Amino acid sequence: MPLEIATIPCLSDNYAFLIHDKLSGDTAIIDVPDAAPVHDTLEKLGWTLTHVLLTHHHWDHVDGLAALLKQHPATVIGAKADAHRLPALDIEVAEGDTLTFGDETATVIDVSGHTVGHIAFYFEKSGMVFTGDSLMALGCGRLFEGTPDMMFASLSKLAKLPETTLVCSGHEYTASNGRFAHTIDPDNTALTTRIKSVADARDLGRPTVPSLLSEELATNPFLRCGDPDLQKSVGMSGADPAAVFAEIRARKDNF
């Protein structure tokens, strides 16, 4: 039985995710931007929090944790490499480590780039990956600490997951990411269709995440750096995809 998932809007444009294993009752929150909406969702669904999974140290992913733990004590899990600047961790993990969660095994993936020490959590059985600010819907996180090569390597790992994987990323940036993507990939019909569907969803107040990895592979420019049409569009035909990534990340920073 796959995990149940609840997408929780927080702050102005963040998302946290609750996952729940019905048989064991295990319930985890991935990142805690704000305690109140997480608490309200737990109460509404009648779930008891057991785990907290942190992707990285930025305030808009951890600042609600202390208040949440006062009402919902739970085991806090985060990156060993980031432990010095994360809230206090009960379990420190690194790439390749696994976590038992109900009937699932979650694998930790190092996705450094946005920050150094950023991790993602991949639940293979349920086909979900929680990427924080690494791979995002139609984009990727800004490189505050890492290098383009570092982020390109991280995204390349995520791109190898099954295409049916649900990508649960940390922000509602999809519409703006789509506007940028169209400037460098204007002839991509799948992208044009997705931009329209994103606009329709936002007009109705609906989240545009999670997204399918298959959608990202077809439309997200940061996963398409080896595509000949995109390379031609940015004037880098035949270039190393990592170099193309660095170019389009720089363009996005100035968009």
> Known binding site for Zn(2+): residues?
56, 58, 60-61, 114, 133, 171
CA 123 to CA 105: how far, in whole Å?
A: 6
CA distances from 113 to 109, 126, 155 (A): 13, 26, 9
- Known binding-site residues equal 56, 58, 60-61, 114, 133, 171
Whether residue 114 lies in the annotated active site: yes
Whether residue 171 lies in the annotated active site: yes
CA distances from 95 to 99, 106, 122, 172, 196 (A): 11, 11, 11, 27, 37
Q: Which of 26, 34, 110, 133 is catalytic?
A: 133
- Tell me the β-bridge partners of 74: none
For the record, the structure tokens of 34 come out as 């704000």
CA 105 to CA 224: how far, in whole Å?
A: 30
Whether residue 182 lies in the annotated active site: no
Q: Which of 20, 51, 57, 171 is catalytic?
A: 171
In contact, 5 and 167? CB cutoff 8 Å? no
Whether residue 60 lies in the annotated active site: yes
Whether residue 200 lies in the annotated active site: no
Q: Which of 58, 72, 118, 182 is catalytic?
A: 58
Q: Which of 21, 34, 60, 82 is catalytic?
A: 60
- 3-class SS of residue 81: helix
Hey, how many other C-beta atoms are within 10 angstroms of the C-beta on 127? 17
CA 118 to CA 208: how far, in whole Å?
A: 22
Q: Which of 21, 34, 51, 56 is catalytic?
A: 56
Q: Which of 72, 114, 118, 182 is catalytic?
A: 114
Catalytic residue positions, numbered: 56, 58, 60-61, 114, 133, 171
